Structure 1
Amino acid sequence: MFLRLLHFSVLSAFVVSGCVSTVPSRDVAERRVTPEIVQAIPAMNQFGATQTSAPERSNAQIAADFLELSFQMESGRQIERLSRFEGPVTITVAPGAPASLSPDLDRLIDRLRTEARIDIRRVPYGTQANITVETLPRERMQRFVPEAACFVVPRVTSWAEFRRARNSRDMDWTTLEVRERVAVFLPNDVAPQEVRDCLHEEVAQAMGPLNDLYRLDDSVFNDDNFHAVLTGFDMLILRAYYDDAIRSGMTRAEVAAVLPGILARLNPRGEGVGGPVDQSPTPRAWIEAIETALGPGTRAPERVIAADRAVTIARQSGLSDARLAFSYFALGRLSLATDVEGSVNAFLAAANIYDRIAPGGIHAAHIDMQLAAFALSSGRADEALRLSGQALPAATRAQNASLLSTLLMIRAEALDAMGRASEARQVRLDSLAWGRYGFGNTAAVGARLTEVAALAP
């Protein structure tokens, strides 16, 4: 069973502890966020067509990534034979889904058809379908899979079937040779963005690779959850997965033999890219440190210690890629409340790595948001404006509404501090419209607005 873990999805959350001004936040919030502002939240903004770019690394590296994604589970168990749907793929949605899911699913299906060239279509519920999407309250899901934000399982079409079969061998992906029926379970009581993020990741894994790799900085097949929607790399992987030269039941060696020709045809620009192929394994000790730092049931001081240990393990293992950067990012995130200087230094260390491997990307945007919050709280409104503006393009390209909304809220506070009240009001209204999609209900949007307002001296 594949699941999207809760503790990784919260990394995009905004943290104000440790960088709040000395004025009590309730006083600042009452001054900055009036009931009228919260009640006047405009209609929800939603993203249009996704703009992606082709991966920039070599086809040799992409082939290595494909094989590791496709022939290994996250647990490390080997998958002996590739499995996929054969023939046209159908997908349906069970009753009770949030209103935002249907247009998001239609956009995803359109992308899978046009970018991955997969013959997939939506069918009415009650019609036999290969993939069934069912939504239910998160608490109900977590009674059976406590750490799951959402997940996908084979050989069932409903929650009732899953409950009956959850301890059986039918749930074992490694026993499949051909995929015929798969169920995707999503929460129906969270923000529209979280529903969409889960939809992208779980449908992708319902159809294709089941593994996640921390070294991939441009993919949703990565438990760091920086990418919210399927990327250009992900679409290339899925297109190769459903190429006519591949079929269900093939072994790793058989796929490895045909994969270079497939990628040369689908991604000719990757043929001219040189450089070594990175297949460096992620140390199990590093994974355990990250899971301790970001997982449930860990006390705050132990989280910081675990994140610091992840940095040490990554450095000692010679990792200089997204894994070391993510270690620093987690350390900055977790030490914010107790060590502001150390937190800033960790964010800057992460930024230096991300600027090298993914310049101007979503990773840098998350860090710029945190640094903009620091700047706002220390009275440097011009720096907060610069950093938030710098992050907006990447947040928009990545279709991350919660990050986009938070950046705009920071900009509004900075503009207010600089005496540009009319601009601030317009930016704040825009932030609220994105907040509806990113955070969900009015209360959640108002709570984020209050947090950001509390930063301003």
Structure 2
Amino acid sequence: MRKVILPICLMLGACVAGGPAEQSTRTATQTANILPVMKAFSAPRPVPPSRSNRDIHRDFMELVFQLESGRALTTFTRFEGPITVRVTGNPPPNLGPDLNRLMHRLRTEAGIEIDRISGPYANITIQAVSRADIRRHLPKAACFVVPNISDLSEYRMAKRGRTTNWSSLKKREKLAIFLPNDASPQEVRDCLHEELAQAIGPLNDLYRLPDSVFNDDNVHTVLTGFDMLILRAYYAPELHNGMTRGQVAARLPAILTRLNPAGDQVAPRHLPPTPRAWIRAVQTALGPGARPAQRRAAANEAVKIAQAMGWTDHRRAFSHFALGRLSQGSDPALARAHFGLADKFYRQTPGTALHQAYAASHLAAHAISRGQGEEALARIAPHIATAERHENAALLATLLMLRAEALDLTGRVSEAQAVRMDSLGWARYGFGADWAVRAKLREISSLSPLKGPNG
């Protein structure tokens, strides 16, 4: 299931101490009152994986033969033959187009036969329901996928038995995905990508992966080039239902050589496993339920574990990022230091361009709060194209709003207004409701010292 970790961790919110949100400029207020049409991304531009096939072999085996809880799976399962998908419930307007785009990618990039149908039965039922309905069943989930049912009304009774137990499956024939119909278009799409990928493919998530939706850090929200390779291998003709871990492991090297020949020429990195203690600390820090002091203590613990493990990869960076995110309200200087460390470790880890964009958004916000417009512009500039390439409208809108504030600080007011207006079309997809778009604009506007009581 997709955790409700993203709004807590990655959105800019409460970036630094500053003036009240209502102290936005007249220009920003006027802009927010004239919201343009929602923008949409064009053709996807996934980046092929650049890692060693030996690393990908290890990734595949851990994704396929282990659940997120750490429990081992003994049997390989997938759909055999063409996969059919139907949509029920009350789907939001964007669900249909986003589902069609995703299925086209699965057919063309992963080689999976998958089609949408309108009949009463399909292999996969996507039911659009309210967030409240989802959380009545799973309070910590934004969306989830379940085997052997087709309606949310069946879940309460079915979850007590073996019917919905993934470890009991011998093959996949019928599954249901439950998505929110009252979330932002981007959140609905993000759920769609992650849950459909798990419905047809691996069930596990690994924090070790820097370039995948199969990672609970939720940095990547649409299927990546790595993910499509994993799914293509998952449906390779050499594999079939009922195979053991050893049987799959024996056939996988030849499959990866055929599908990703360049990966045979790359040296493996052999990143160490992620200890459960670090995972628990991150989940406490960024998941629901903990008090602010508990969150900060857990984030500190994640940093300490990462340091003790000697990590210098994206997990070390994410530890600092989480602590920076949770320190903003109480200690902006400390937060800025940890965002700087996150940026440092992300920069030395391959495949983390999107992670770097998130770190840059926070560092740019701190620069704006200090009136340093040119520094903010320099930090933002390399990452706008990254956010667009990864189809992250919320991040793209945030970066553009920050750029507009930085342009105002440097006296380029008309350019700032144009950039601010451009941000709103993306914000409508990324943040959804008009009030949410306006709230984000006011939040970012309030960072600038020009927008204080005397600004």
Q: TM-score range by the shorter chain?
A: over 0.9
Aligned twin of 2:85: 91
Match of 1:59 in 2: 53
Distance 1:78 1:436, change over 3 A: same
Structure 1 spans left out of the alignment, 5+ residues: none
Tell which deviates more after alignment, 424-433 or 221-230: 424-433
Q: Secondary structure at the match of 1:33?
A: helix
* Alpha-carbon distance change, 203 to 260 in structure 1, aligned in 2, over 3 angstroms: same
Aligned length: 449
Q: Does the CA-based 8 Å contact 1:412-1:428 persist in structure 2? A: yes
8 Å CA contact 2:15–2:365 kept in 1: the answer is no
Aligned match of 1:181 in 165, 174, 187? 174
Shift of 1:322: 2.0
User: What amino acid does structure 2 have at the position aligned with 1:6?
Assistant: V
What is the aligned partner in structure 1 of residue 331 from structure 2?
339
In structure 1, give the amino acid aligned to 2:409: A
1:290 and 2:262 matched:
no
Structure 1 residues 360, 170: CA separation in 2 closer, same or farther (over 3 Å shift)?
closer
- Which among 121, 125, 136 is matched to residue 115 of structure 2? 121
In 2: Cα distance, 1:63 partner to 1:249 partner: 19
Deviations 1:134-193 (A, max 9, x none): 111101111110000000000011112223312111111011111000000011111000
- Within-5 A mapping of 1:270-349: 270-278=263-271, 280-349=272-341
**What secondary structure sits across from 1:171 in the alignment?**
coil
- Measure how far apart 1:9 and its partner are: 4.7
Question: Structure 2: how far apart are the matches of 1:152 and 1:118?
Answer: 19
The one-letter code of the counterpart of 1:82 is F
2:28 counterpart letter in structure 1: V
1:440 aligned onto 2:427: no
Verify: 1:29 aligned to 2:21, yes or no: no
Percentage of pairs with the same residue: 51
Give the AA of the match of 1:71: F
Name the structure 1 match of 2:453: none
- 1:265 is the counterpart of 2:258: yes
For the residue of structure 1 that corresponds to 2:206, the secondary structure is coil
Distance 1:88 1:25, change over 3 A: closer
Within 5 A, what are the aligned runs for 1:22-421? Answer: 23-26=19-22, 28-29=23-24, 31-34=26-29, 36-124=30-118, 126-278=119-271, 280-358=272-350, 361-421=353-413
Q: CA deviation at 1:276?
A: 4.6
- CA separation in 1, counterparts of 2:268 and 2:6? 31
- CA distance in structure 1 between the aligned counterparts of 2:270 and 2:253, rounded to whole angstroms: 14
Deviates more, 1:263-272 or 1:162-171: 162-171
Offset of residue 32 of structure 1: 4.6
1:8-28 deviations in whole A, cap 9, x for unaligned? 4532211235332xx4442x2
Contact 2:193 2:223 in 1 (8 A): yes
Code of the residue aligned with 1:33 in structure 2: it is: A
Two-structure CA RMSD over aligned residues (Å): 1.4
Query: For 2:105 and 2:355, how far apart are their aligned partners in 1?
Result: 23
Encode CA deviations 1:294-335: one digit per residue, 9 max, x unaligned.
Answer: 121211122111101101112212333222111111011111
Return 354-363 or 103-112, whichever deviates more.
354-363
Residues 1:297 and 1:32: Cα distance change in structure 2 (over 3 Å): farther
* 1:236-267 C-alpha deviation (Å, 9 max, x unpaired): 00000000000011010000000000000000
Contact 1:362 1:394 in 2 (8 A): yes
Provide the rounded CA distance (Å) in 1 between the counterparts of 2:66 and 2:89: 34
Q: Tell me how far apart the structure 2 counterparts of residues 360 and 150 of structure 1 sit (CA, whole Å).
A: 26
Q: In the aligned structure 2, how far is the partner of 1:9 from the partner of 1:182? A: 27
Structure 1 residues 242 and 294: alpha-carbon distance in aligned structure 2, compared to 1, 3 A threshold:
same
Shift of 1:399: 0.7
CA-CA distance at 1:275 after TM superposition? 3.1
Tell me by how many angstroms 1:76 deviates: 0.8
TM-score (norm 2): 0.96
Q: Distance in 2 between matches of 1:358 and 1:404?
A: 21
Displacement, 1:348? 1.3
Contact 2:8 2:287 in 1 (8 A): no
Q: C-alpha separation between the residues in 1 aligned to 2:348 and 2:241?
A: 38
* Counterpart amino acid of residue 65 in structure 2: F
3-state SS, counterpart of residue 163 of structure 2: helix
The amino acid of 1:110's aligned partner reads H
Cα distance in 2 for residues equivalent to 1:394 and 1:276: 24
Task: Provide Cα deviations, 1:376-405, integer angstroms capped at 9, x if missing partner.
Answer: 110001111221222201111111101100
Distance in 2, matches of 1:18 and 1:259, equals 48
The structure 1 segments of at least 4 consecutive aligned residues displaced by more than 4 Å after TM superposition are: none
How does the TM-score come out when normalised to structure 1?
0.96
Aligned equivalents of 1:182, 1:145: Cα separation in 2: 17
